[in-house]
A and B are shown apart, each in its own frame.
Chain A
Amino acid sequence: MHIVGYLAALGFGIAAIGSGIGVGIIVGKTIESVARQPELQGRLTSLMFLGIALTEALCFIAIAIGFIPFPSP
């Protein structure tokens, strides 16, 4: 069997698993907290976006690494 493609796409896929799980946990926990204390929703939402931004940065670094021109053997 002969497969053609970029390995970088595979690397991005693996990185996406991690940050996907992370973002899922953050959003899920925020929904849980808002259900417990609805009056804190505004503060929790901005904290949620902060957490999402910090987590998904890993994913974007993985995209960036795909564009680095490594010398081919």
Chain B
Amino acid sequence: MPAAAAASGFEPPTIQDFFPAAVLFQGTPFALNRIMLIRLLVVALLVLWLWLGTRRMQLVPGRGQVITEFLLGFVRNNIAIETLGEQDGRRFMPVIMTMFFLTFGMNITGAIPGLQIAGSAVIGLPLVLAIIAWALFIYAGFKKLGWTYLKNALFLPGVPWPLYFLLTPLEILSTFIVRPITLTMRLLMNMVSGHLLLALVYAASSFFLFTLLPSGNLFGLIGVGTVAFGVLYLGFEIFVAALQAYVFAFLTAIYIQLAVAEEH
């Protein structure tokens, strides 16, 4: 952790933060590093929360049940059903809900002091989720429309036919290649840049307040400003974690909706 290591001098965060040394099962293919342990912890907590939170449902909900129902209802009504409609929304709700809560849980660890790195800050998790979303909207389109789906997706109606030589390659690129890449990159780079900035602010605060100021250098007072910015940025990170989870689930729903739409 750069924040702890910086007590002696100013050590800005590097890209090595995302590839820490293995702590368990070194040398085997199942070597686990800090980030993998954080991911496993998040998954365990999510399973525990969803199991305990939905085990004893009551007609008059208690406080825990209200929070659980609010979050589940938000994803179901405001993301799945609002985008996909009543029938398809309920059909694809489990995947969209999994994506929302998994990305949110993985993102929020980037803002928790002590854990301090998002589970989605290494490419594996965003890539797997994006590939699932990509396979899902192609599957949904083929299931609903058969081969007409490819015709709808690749040949826009109402265009003079010579233009298809130009438009169809662009549609292939934008629908089947750019979509999964941007889904991955958006989530991954949000978390990477969030961690780098947060760690930079922490390292700078620790350098200014604990190294420069005790040695009598008045420039150490800048540390007050970096601490204030760090608190603001921590709040922003929490907001970004929730926003990215929302955007990921919402975009998956939109892509499915575009695939199952009758006309383009």
Contact = CB atoms under 8 A, between A and B. Distances in A.
Contacts of A67: 15
Nearest to B243: A49
Nearest to A60: B189
B185 interface: yes
A63 interface: yes
A35 interface: no
Interface in B241-258: 243, 246-247, 250-251, 254
A50 B193 CA distance: 20
A50 B247 contact: yes
Contacts of B193: 60, 63
Interface string A22-66: 000000000000000000000000100110011011001101100
B15 A53 contact: no
B254 A50 contact: yes
B192 A53 contact: no
B189 A53 contact: no
Contacts of B251: 50, 53
A61 B247 contact: no
B217 interface: no
B182 interface: yes
Interface in B188-227: 188-190, 192-193
B250 A61 contact: no
Contacts of A63: 189, 192-193
Contacts of B250: 46, 49-50, 53
B186 interface: yes
B78 interface: yes
A60 B186 contact: yes
A54 B182 CA distance: 8
Given A46-B78, A50-B254, A64 B185 contact: yes
A35 B144 CA distance: 39
A23 B184 CA distance: 20
Interface string B76-120: 001000100000000000000000000000000000000000000
B185 A53 contact: no
A46 B186 CA distance: 17
B96 to A, nearest CB: 14
Nearest to B82: A46
Contacts of A61: 181-182, 185, 189
Q: Which 9 A-B pairs have the closest CB atoms?
A: A60-B189, A53-B247, A57-B182, A63-B189, A57-B186, A60-B185, A61-B185, A64-B189, A60-B186
Given A46-B250, A63-B193, A64-B188, 14 more contacts: A46-B78, A46-B82, A49-B247, A49-B250, A50-B254, A53-B247, A53-B250, A53-B251, A54-B182, A57-B182, A57-B185, A60-B193, A61-B182, A64-B189
17 contacts: A46-B78, A46-B82, A49-B246, A49-B247, A49-B250, A50-B251, A53-B247, A53-B251, A56-B186, A57-B185, A60-B186, A60-B188, A60-B189, A61-B181, A61-B189, A63-B193, A67-B15
